[in-house]
Chains A and B, each alone.
Chain A
Amino acid sequence: MPPFAVPPLSRLIDVHVHLDQWPFRRLPHDTTAALLSKLRKQNVTAAWVCSYDALLHRDLKAVNERLLESCGKSGQDILKPVGAVNLTLSGWELDAEYCWKSGMHGVRIYPGYHLSDLDDGRFSALCEFCQEKNLILQIVAGLEDSRTEHPQFASRLMELKPALELIPKYPRLRILFSNPGREISQGVAARLSKAGHVYFDLGMIEQTGGVAAYAHAVSQERLVFGSHFPFFYFEASLLKLRENEEALGQQGLDRVAFQNAEQLLQRIDG
């Protein structure tokens, strides 16, 4: 191993990765080839990917078609497409249906970017659809520190109270909150985790020892590995596992690294 390299874990499932280009600057691994090379070196066996185009593009059908094509053509069985749905666009149901019919295991929404609310009837309709079709609903809590966003663009904070009330109504629905750290406090996350089959990734969890504290709040079984790569250095999430290894223990590390994501992929029959 070269000097200064961070030793990889034996296996990782990364639930929060993007293809294509971040809208506001170029990133070091924003080509599919470069991204895949990095993921392979880190022993990532599956990366759940959406396209950055889904943040601002309006033709999400085209975005999801390109995503599927990229994963099929060059994904090398590592890239697992998760299509995007923008609930504020008319005909969003067709986009969700496309994701399901294409064999994707879930759909991803970006409420802070699409300016959609969780107390909207369209969100509950999406919950219903995902439960019925056995799709994981991945809700991205945020992507960037609001203090560093482009002045012409400000994402919106997500109001989570409606989700707390809505989730118990869908007992077979699996929900994954990505980048919960800044936007979803440990206390709220604990309540969400008790409301249903709700998981959280560790992408934006900060503070020294913060991952272990978050795991304690939501339980180790509900925390999964999400790198927020390539916007974040991949090593950020990887090193967070190391920083918290004593508190998590080997069993906890394995759970967060890949076992919980495998569990999340299991459909809930009812």
Chain B
Amino acid sequence: MGKVAEFVWRRGLSRRRGPAVTAFVRRHRLAPYLLLAPALAGIAVVLLWPLAQVVVYSFQNYGLPQITGTEPTQWVGLGNFTTTFADSEFWLSLRITVLFAAVVVPLTLLAGTLVGLLLNRLGKKMSAFVSTAALLAWATPPVSASVLFYWLFSPDGGLVDWTLGKLPHWLVGSTDWAGFNWATSGALSAYTVLTILVIWQSFPFIAVSVLAGLKTVPAELYEAARVDGASARRMFWKITYPLLKPIFLVLLLLSVIWDFNVFTQTYILTGFPGNRDEFNLSLYIYDKAFAGFPPNYSLGGALALIFTLILLVVTVGYVRASVRQGALT
């Protein structure tokens, strides 16, 4: 801080308010709007306007012939939605999406919380070591991570199949693991890999957030409880959990949103567009809008709208949780 600022700082501490302040505020009444303008413009153009257009598209027949001008754009009412609801692949992709989130979200939160608790109890050096390792997994870009896991689980020379093939049958079952095709032979095996991959990439964030929350819990609380002879488990549920509950809620909602929307990893692992029985909702939308022949932006738009509405329910929960934590003050 420069000398001027220090001077200002000192004077500021005296909390004197003069007419100058009022004048300043009055002079700058438009300031917040001007300051916000670039951000709002960007958000409007890239986030809000496209969403509004998608709503319009979803009630039209907008596709390749409409872009090239060979056929006129027409309103089709709820046509795109009835087509979607009549498609068994839509329901399959929805089921895969929901089941995947239902498995991955709790597992990620559990793994992240356990590591967070562990980090809190480790010595300084050890804690730094473990959190650095976690940081590296987190830093791995999704594309790298997906390609890497594809290789680890590859039927031709992949390490996982090799290891499973070496293990005794009583442990890993009688499946012929050497050459087991995880990624494309079916949704169950593909999403098993995806589950491991997504947990590997996202538990560090949970762990770090939980750790940050734990640091805010006064140590005296634990000491008092320990004096009273409380077990570690009891302390977690009576002290840690209630204090971390708001953080857990936000982490839960964020995880649901993220895991509902896994595109990059599923795109690469399932060899898009080859295996339609392994599509989640994200891939299904992308397929309808861009990869299908001919591409149908309206059908994709209707799907995107449905997807957004599903996520909106979670988002409302997220916003309410954030507001309750005093986020707006």
Q: Do A and B bind each other?
A: no
| Chain B interfacial positions (CB closer than 8 Å to A) | none
| Chain A interfacial positions (CB closer than 8 Å to B) | none
